[in-house]
Homo-oligomer: A and B are copies of this chain.
Amino acid sequence: MRERLPFDHLDDRLARAAWSRLAEPEDRAATRLVAALGAGPALDWLLHAERGLYPAVPVPPPRGNWGTAAARWAPRLAGLDPRRELEVIARRGGELILPGSRAWPVGLDDLGECAPLCLWVIGARDPATLAASSVALVGSRASTAYGERVAADLAMGVQPKDITVVSGGAYGIDAAAHRATLSVDGPALAVMAGGLDRYYPNGNTRLLEQVAATGAVVAEAPPGTAPMRTRFLSRNRLIAALARATVVVEAAWRSGALSTASRAAGLFRPVGAVPGPVTSAASAGAHRLIRESGAICVTDAAEVAELVQPVGTALPEEPAVAAGLLDDLDGEQARVLDALPARGGAVFGAVVRSAGMDEVSVRAALGFLELSGRVTREGGAWRRARVRG
């Protein structure tokens, strides 16, 4: 029991930092209380609640009553002091960003009551700018060489369009996407499930430091928060909300990446998935998304860019294909060309019978084919021209 907190809890910055410690991600009761009272007065309310006093709240809680909500927040009041966490983030060159500030990525607001109360950030660029044109490339930690290659191709391929690559900093697809982005000096944004006092996983520390040095690493939990498994699922909603589109590069039948896709779909953001061999279990989740969830089949960077940008501004080009012998021919012309023997020549009557067309049409078609250099006439016989280089 305490009557006051060791910091100025009516300071909005300190109060929101405190709430990011008290409430787990997606605690809609906390978001609603803070929205109704303000972050500082909501702390006041909690102090009262801890002593068994429940000042009136002008809105009902999402479920149950405000007392049970207070009961899950109050145990964390012990030792609460967000000034320490702000010091930690500042020492690492980072800062706390509040909703409504210039650096706040507005896409997060689409989460409604599941939006984070604040954002802890370490980065060279602000998250709002980074997220403005961005795509999440996510996938399994248990990735294959194929998946990592495709992730890298896509991440590098969207860079000419200055699209930020958002991912979760995990091993596998996430790391491949981040690494490829950095390799071409592209903008990178990593979203952590735990606090930014240290990066997770440990083996990607160096990579995430580089992401922070050119783009940004963000988290909703304060420094000192361990990346528990349930926090990864909550973290995925931030990836989905920060990015304009989400692409699952490689995911097994059950994979956390599918939850990111699901959250993106719930936000009406475009969701793409990269196909792979049906013989690869690592692609089963991506295929499932395409087959059952309406995810768009994405096969190259141009198609990724198309998801991010308004239709028409980034139409992928049709791959260059060698022109075929029948290109530009109408049906009758193609049929007459087909009717000519592969070797040697054929008289006009034979071509007519072989093509199964009337004489006038055959004559017209032969004329066109001759003009376009596809057939030649020698003596009374029509023959195919030598294949052009």
CB of B290 within 8 A of CB of A72, answer: no
Residues of B with C-beta under 8 A to A287: 275, 297, 299
Q: Which of B68, B69, B353 contacts A76 (CB 8 A)?
A: B353
Which residues from B are CB-within-8-Å of A146?
A: 277, 279
Closest to A249 in B: B278
* Alpha-carbon gap, A68 to B357, bound state (A): 9
Measured between C-beta atoms, what is the minimum distance from A55 to chain B in Å? 19
**A118 and B360 alpha carbons, distance in the complex (Å):** 28
Q: In A267-294, which residues have CB < 8 Å from any B CB? A: 274-279, 283-284, 287, 290-291
- How many copies of the shown chain assemble into the complex? 2
Residue of B with least CB distance to A350: B75
* A303 on interface, CB distance cutoff 8 Å: yes
CB<8 Å pairs between A and B, sample of 17: A23-B356, A24-B335, A24-B357, A75-B353, A75-B359, A146-B279, A149-B279, A150-B279, A226-B354, A228-B354, A254-B324, A275-B276, A278-B300, A284-B299, A284-B319, A287-B297, A291-B303
List chain A positions with a Cβ less than 8 A from chain B: 22-24, 27, 68-69, 71-73, 75-76, 78, 146, 149-150, 226, 228-231, 253-254, 274-279, 283-284, 287, 290-291, 296-300, 303, 318-319, 321, 324, 326, 331, 334-335, 338-339, 349, 352-361
Q: How far is the CA of A338 from the CA of B233 in the complex (A)?
A: 12
Tell me the nearest residue of chain B to A299, going by C-beta.
B278
Q: Is there an interface contact between A321 and B254, defined as CB atoms closer than 8 Å?
A: yes
Which residues of chain B are within 8 angstroms of A303 by Cβ–Cβ distance? 291
A22-B356, A290-B290 are known contacts; what are 10 more A-B pairs with Cβ within 8 Å?
A: A23-B356, A27-B356, A72-B358, A75-B353, A150-B279, A228-B335, A231-B338, A254-B324, A275-B275, A291-B303
